[in-house]
Amino acid sequence: MKKSPQHLFPVWRGAGGGPSWGWPRCIGWEAVEGEAEPQGFDCPFWCVLCRGGRERLKQACQRGREVLRLPANMLRIKLPHLFDNHQVPKVFREDSIISGYRHPQSSAMDCILSSFQMTNETVNIWTHFLPTWYFLWRFFLLCTTENFLSESYTWPLLVYMMLICLYPFISSCAHTFSTMSPEARHICYFFDYGALSLYSLGCAIAYGSYVMPECWVNSWLHQHFVSIAIANTIFCTSMSCYSRFLELQFPHKSKILRTGAFVLPFVFDNIPLVYRLVLCFSGHCSHTEAVSSHCYHLLFAFLTGFLFASHLPERLAPGRFDYFGHSHQLFHICAVVGTHFQMEAVLADMSSRHSWLIAHSPGPFFLGTLGALALAFILNMGIIGLFSACLLRTPNLSTSGLSTTHTTHTTHTHSKEE
Ligand SMILES: [Zn+2]
């Protein structure tokens, strides 16, 4: 009677038991044909123990464990270590933020990965990255309803929409890559300031075309509104970039200069709007559809400025708001919510005042819209290029006024110990 195969003990297979034996081939569970029913630990167990099998069994088990452990190791990603403010060079420190700093010489890949790790920059990155997609989505919807190619009346809106998509995206990138080196940090923020400055031009172009009070249409200010706004972008980008060089030695001067650099174009852009709102509240305006959105925008714009200048709430409790709730995160959120209301207001004015504006003004033209944007873009890129070249050509300019030797050394030593 033929015995059915039985699977009882592991036995070694393979020619000569060479080193090529691997886990799947080295052990098989089988019964030996033509022999009596195996009883307990018979020949196979003896083979394993007496012909060097014990060692092979150990090796095989070890290999097996490694194979099983591999997927777990692949899933376990080691996150970069974070630092406290005294462990990073002064140029990377933020007011009243104590912990959660990334390595000051992170690679580009580390910077991208850090956006998925909780650091003191993570919320800054996402509070401008996600709104970029919201504004792009609104822009896409407008592209399906407006004729941007041939209708010149829509060009100010086109410029405005491009810039409200650009500024949060550049800001998000600046916050992501600002820890690659001191120079990279400065250059990242030069671009951030440049994008904000261009956004102020986008506001001026949209306001000059759709928001201007009726009594100011065709006035000297209306005719020169965009030209002055281009000059403002040059002033704003230059001053804000320059303020970074004063940051370490004269932090208060730097803060005042940077705040002033952004307040000037904001105040200028909003002069016609504020005048129109004053007229509306005194009962002298005809198009009121956009008034509430304009008011909400102004409210959030003031909140944005206040948070930027005050460093609240982290100034009241340093270290408490390192990851969530510090002023820069709130500043980003207020800026984006304000921009949302501004966009709604511009869209409301654009449609409700269409016929009146077409009848009473020459209407938007290429040089005053897309041409102005192209010119301002080139000029601002030139300014950023000049500041970046100046920074890269002058050794230690990016870290001047601080004792980098000790802090950088400490950081490196610390990271090597990890
Ligand atoms: Zn920011």
pLDDT surpasses 70 at 199 = yes
> Which range is least confidently modeled, 39-43, 116-120, 149-153, 245-249?
39-43
In this predicted structure, the answer to whether residue 416 has a pLDDT above a threshold of 50 is no
Cis peptide before 156 (omega within 30 of 0): no
Please report, for residues 108, 111, 143, 248, 400, the alpha-carbon distance to residue 391 in angstroms, rounded to integers and kept in the order given: 20, 22, 40, 15, 11
Does residue 109 have a pLDDT over 50?
yes
pLDDT band at 377 (very low <50, low <70, confident <90, very high): very high
Task: Say if residue 328 carries a ligand binding annotation.
Answer: yes
Looking at residue 248, its pLDDT comes to: 81
pLDDT surpassing 60 at residue 404: no
Report the distance separating Cα 19 and Cα 143, nearest Å: 67
341 Cα to the center of ligand 1, angstroms: 19
Q: How confident is the model at residue 66 (pLDDT cuts 50, 70, 90)?
A: low
Domains of the chain: 1-54 (no CATH), 107-398 (1.20.1070)
**Which residue has better confidence, 70 or 30?**
70
Going from the Cα of 406 to the center of ligand 1, the distance in angstroms, rounded, reads 28
How close is the Cα of 408 to the center of ligand 1, in Å? 25
Q: What is the pLDDT of residue 28?
A: 35
What is the distance in A from the centroid of ligand 1 to the CA of 82?
20
Check the annotation: does 360 bind a ligand.
Answer: no
The alpha carbon of 219 and the centre of ligand 1 are apart by a number of angstroms equal to 36
| Residue 138: predicted pLDDT | 96
Query: Per the structure block, which two tokens stand in for 239?
Result: 């001053």
Ligand 1 centroid vs 315 CA: distance in angstroms? Answer: 17
The pair of structure tokens assigned to 159 is 């410029």
Whether 40 has a pLDDT exceeding 50, the answer reads no
Indicate if the pLDDT at residue 71 is higher than 70.
no
Distance 124 CA to ligand 1 centre (A): 6
- For every residue of 233-281, DSSP letters joined together read HHHHHHHHHHHHHHTTT-HHHHHHHHHHHHHHHHHHHHHHHHHHHHHHH
Range with lowest mean pLDDT among 73-87, 284-298, 362-376, 403-417:
403-417
Q: Average model confidence (pLDDT) for the chain?
A: 81
Q: Does pLDDT of 189 surpass 90?
A: yes
What is the CA(168)–ligand 1 centre distance, in A?
A: 8
- Ligand 1 centroid distance, CA of 62 (Å): 51
Q: Which of 10-19, 149-158, 199-208, 275-284 is the least confident region? A: 10-19
Q: 55 or 369: which carries more pLDDT confidence? A: 369
Distance 308 CA to ligand 1 centre (A): 9
225-251: average pLDDT: 92
Q: What is the pLDDT of residue 51?
A: 59
Query: What confidence score (pLDDT) does residue 53 get?
Result: 62
Name the nearest CA neighbour of 324 among 117, 170, 121. 121
Is 354 marked as a binding-site residue?
A: no
Question: Which of the listed ranges 28-42, 60-74, 356-370 does the model predict with the highest average pLDDT?
Answer: 356-370
d(CA 290, CA 159): 20
Q: How far is the CA of 328 from the centre of ligand 1 (A)?
A: 6
Calculate what percentage of the chain has a pLDDT beyond 70: 76
